[in-house]
Amino acid sequence: MIPSAAVPRAASCLLENAWVCPEYLSSRRSELLAAVVAHLQITVVSVAIGALVALPLALLARRVRGLRPVVLGASTALYTVPSLALFSLLLPFTGLSRTTVVVGLVLYSLTVLVRTVLTGLEGVPEEVRDAARGMGFAPSALLWRVELPLALPVVVSGLRVATVSTVALTTVGTIVGNGGLGDLVYDGLRTDFRAEVLTASVLCVALALALDAVLLVAGRLLVPWRRGVA
């Protein structure tokens, strides 16, 4: 009989600190799931609030021409502020909380969403508006029943861009302890835990692709009249 000490043991990818480690996935499944859920919640809430804020801002910029450069300039200027600096500036008001991350991401999303909504509305043909007015549509009905439905393809495209960028920016929220998958990336880099860094990074990319696919399908369902348009 061969002594047990002489039997070679299967190498552990955790002990070897390998980049790809199935053992890490199985042993940290609950931790990874919690990080993905937190990342998803922050992203969805931020983009949803950003869309709700962007719509009235875009309508204001379209109605009051003098405010157009102010609204567009302000939303663009916000995106030039580094995320680390922006989150730090929000700390005195929102503290070390998820609210800090959400507020920062909402402000960043306005850069894309305000311009997208404005572009979509201005892309509606004027003859369509004239026809709707001729049919007795009030301004509010014209907006909700004619202009916004026709602007949806452009708006959804902007939502896709804002969502993907928000998924990436959410990771920076780790500086206030609410970065979702970014917390795992930071922890892995700090401790040189390769499997944690790579797994969290891959999950972040997968989440961005999944949300983009969901919005793509939703956009096609919302505008069935464009399904056959190249």
24 in Cβ contact with 152 (< 8 Å): no
In this prediction, residue 211 carries a pLDDT of 95
Share of the chain above pLDDT 70, in %: 92
Domains defined along the chain, listed by start: 32-125+156-221 (1.10.3720.10)
In this prediction, residue 224 carries a pLDDT of 65
197 in Cβ contact with 57 (< 8 Å): no
Q: Worst-scoring range by mean pLDDT, 31-45, 139-153, 159-173, 200-214?
A: 139-153
What is the Cα–Cα distance from 128 to 126, expressed in whole angstroms?
Answer: 5
pLDDT digits (tens, 9 = 90+) for 50-98: 999 999 999 888 888 788 888 888 888 888 888 888 888 888 888 888 8
Is residue 2's pLDDT more than 90? no
Is residue 146's pLDDT more than 50? yes
Element (H or E) spanning 116, and its range? helix 98-122
170 in Cβ contact with 185 (< 8 Å): no
What is the Cα–Cα distance from 101 to 224, expressed in whole angstroms?
Answer: 35
Token look-up 């972040």 returns 204
What is the Cα–Cα distance from 65 to 80, expressed in whole angstroms?
Answer: 24
In this prediction, residue 1 carries a pLDDT of 41
In this prediction, residue 11 carries a pLDDT of 58
Closest listed residue to residue 38, CA positions, set 226, 207, 221, 210: 207
**Cβ neighbour number for residue 30 with a 10 Å cutoff:** 8
In this prediction, residue 148 carries a pLDDT of 84
pLDDT digits (tens, 9 = 90+) for 182-205: 888 988 888 888 888 899 999 999
Four-residue CA torsion sign, 203, 205, 207, 210 = negative
Is residue 141's pLDDT more than 60? yes
